[in-house]
Amino acid sequence: MIVGTAGHIDHGKTSLVRALTGVETDRLKEEKARGISIDLGFAYLPTPDGDRLGFVDVPGHEKFVRTMLAGASGIDFALLVVAADDGPMPQTLEHLAIVDLLGIRKGLVALTKADLVDELQLLEAEEAVRAVLAGTALSGADILPVSSATGLGVDALRARLFEEAAAHAARDDAGLFRLAVDRSFTLSGAGTVVTGTVMSGQVAVGDRVVISPAGTPARIRAIHAQNEPAERGRAGDRCALNLAGDGIGKESARRGDVVCAPGLHAPTMRIDAELRLLPGEPKPIGTWTPVFLHHAACEVGARVVPLGTARLGPGEAGLVQIVLDTPIAAAAGDRFVLRDTSQQRTIGGGRFLDLRPPSRKRQTPERLAQLAAHALRDPGESLEALLDLPPCYVDLTAFARDRLLGEEALRAIAARLEVVPLTLSGTTIGIGAGGFYRLRTASSATLADHHAANPDLMGLGIERLRTSVEPRLPAPIFRAALSQLAASGAVVLEGAWARLPGHTVSLSPEDERRWERISALLGGTERFRPPRVRDIAGTLALPEPDIRRLLKLTGRLGRVDEVAHDHFFLRETVAEMVDIISRLSGAAPKGEFTAAAFRDQVENGRKVAIQILEFYDRHGVTLRRGDLRRVNPHRLDLFRTLGAEEAGEPEREASPVGRPDFKSGRGREPVSGGFDSHSLSPTSTVAL
């Protein structure tokens, strides 16, 4: 258990710690000369059961309240020190308010200098103390008269602290490791040493850590826990960590830094929080109020924006967004204190809720509902509530990191809530079972309606499907969710399109009859120079738009390819021309051939031959340099079927051409990899 002193200057905090432990916590020359504490002091006291009490002695002078805050954040038990001959003084009240704001719920009062007053004065001092304790976390705390000079009540106080330590429940050390640095120094032969209270988790000699927010990696060379050499430090221990590693030196860590597990390093400059203003604050907090934020052992300039209200008045509590001047390392649920910009008074304090809040739309009803979910202390309840709210998904990686959850803890919560995990670029996104069911149902219904209204289309564009269903997810998350649905057989994905598994496209009887007449014109001896849409329409005496529509449709069915605008070739002809190109390249010096050589092979005009080659250029089958082209062997199977003897594997169809998303590419430049923006991957297949 870590005991922290609190109280006004010259009320005997350091003397009392010395009387209890025999340790002089004033270590600085100036402290000894002036007789006041300036920096944090530390002492330890063995308990009868073999444990050790840690004491953090804080300065009482108003100028050093910021130093007091650096030490107060890590304490478990508050020892409020009030001099019997003075009674409660200004820093008594401020320290008590800080203890209350930091959520320290256990403590007692040592009424020091009891030897200097008579019994009546002692009773009056006790009454005055009870009055200031009323309404705080220490309301009703026991008051023990003591005298460091005569030893009066010191043994009784020590025995009481032993009782409290025995009853103190150790902090849960199952989370990820964090230590708030309140001292940093170098020792000859050891190197850099940092001290502080372990805020969560545990650490062992040899572990890799990060000094945040700078992000400096380090290794734990040695540990002292509760002032004794140890192999491991746990939550609640006062520890000294000997750090080693490249770049670790005197300035690598300083007060306010956090030594943490590598996975926790994610500094933030914007935090949504619960804030309670002290009743004595002279004015309310409005939008963009400047303050100093104290968290753990760090202090940083910040500005406060009330959420859900224009201002927060004295004694009121509400939601705020805190925008920091510099990033800090923090966790959801951490306590903080705000002081004014002159650092002369404490304004209020509260608890961090969300470390990754939006900078815009931060006061919408949806956002305020999310903050209510973040405010739930149990991580499982919080996650469940967030998944039920728009946008109906949670970044599980960030959620676990910000709440200090290990992998096993997160896995157990996700399993209990039946969360559907989606992996995106190293981050795991979670969708609730209900949200995923709604997405699946809505997607199936939307696709069914689309197929009914458009039986001649292979599917619906994924982006159009995303904007048509609820919950409305960001495009990358929707695609990952759709892939999950595809894996379960609920939908079929084909490049940028989606369809239901049972949906197929077929021509109407009238279109089939027309296709038979059109295909006869596209094949045969004229297959390398087929007529264009307008020529087919004239020959068959049919409207040109009808011919164009039918050829587009058969293109989706994989029967033809639109090599140039309104110029369609049979699929077999496109594959045959790939073979011709391959033979030309194989027989030519350096594998390079000209458009004229290809024209002579297919016996059509130069213009058509160039259009065909440009079609292959766009898809990477041919690679052009000046007037010469060569074959890209990795793309030969895009438009032709390789026999088993040539490919070394069973016959397969890998061409994207003729798919519902294929375009001739007219008017577009080639793109990296040979595909235009609408083409499918060559590994995609279509079941017709």
Residue 62 has pLDDT above 90, yes or no: no
pLDDT at 76 over 50: yes
pTM metric for this prediction = 0.74
- Would you say residue 651 has pLDDT above 50? no
Report the pLDDT averaged over residues 57-85: 77
CA 383 – CA 517 distance, rounded (Å): 62
The pLDDT value recorded for residue 650 is 33
Report how far residue 1's alpha carbon sits from residue 3's, in angstroms, rounded to the nearest whole number.
Answer: 6
Q: How far apart are alpha carbons 38 and 568 in whole angstroms?
A: 87
Q: For the chain, what is the mean pLDDT?
A: 86
Q: How confident is the model at residue 508 (pLDDT cuts 50, 70, 90)?
A: confident
Which pairs count as long-range contacts for 479-483, CB under 8 Å and 24+ apart, including other chains? 480/422, 480/423, 480/424, 480/429, 481/420, 481/422, 481/431, 481/436, 481/439, 482/443
Mean pLDDT score, 53-75: 72
Predicted confidence (pLDDT) at residue 278 exceeds the cutoff of 60: yes
What value does the mean pLDDT take over residues 410-430? 93
pLDDT of residue 341: 92
- The tens digit of pLDDT for each residue in 607-617 reads 999 999 999 99
Q: What mean pLDDT do residues 497-519 have?
A: 89
pLDDT of residue 63: 55
Query: Which residues have C-beta within 8 Å of that of residue 458, sequence separation ≥ 6?
Result: 494, 497, 499, 503, 505, 556, 659, 660, 686
Residue-wise pLDDT tens digits, 193-208: 998 889 999 999 999 9
pLDDT of residue 75: 85
- 646 vs 174 pLDDT, higher one: 174
**Which of the two residues, 289 and 33, has the higher pLDDT score?**
289
Distances in whole angstroms, Cα of residue 121 to Cα of each of 146, 157, 571: 14, 20, 106
Digit-coded pLDDT (tens) for 205-258: 999 999 999 999 999 999 999 888 999 999 888 899 999 998 898 788 998 999
Give the distance from CA 661 to its chain's centroid.
Answer: 35
pLDDT of residue 405: 93
User: What domains lie within the chain, and their CATH numbers?
Assistant: 2-167 (3.40.50.300), 178-264 (2.40.30.10), 268-367 (2.40.30.10), 376-503 (1.10.10.10), 517-674 (1.10.10.10)
Across 609-656, the runs of DSSP E, i.e. the strands, are: 622-625, 628-631
Give the tens place of pLDDT for each residue, 119-166: 999 999 999 999 999 988 899 999 999 999 999 999 999 999 999 988
Check pLDDT > 50 for residue 653: no
Whether the pLDDT of residue 42 is over 90: the answer is no
Please check the confidence at residue 74 and state whether its pLDDT lies above 50: yes
Tens digits of per-residue pLDDT, 543-602?
999 999 999 888 877 789 999 999 999 989 999 999 999 999 999 989 999 999 999 999
pLDDT given for residue 641 in this prediction = 46
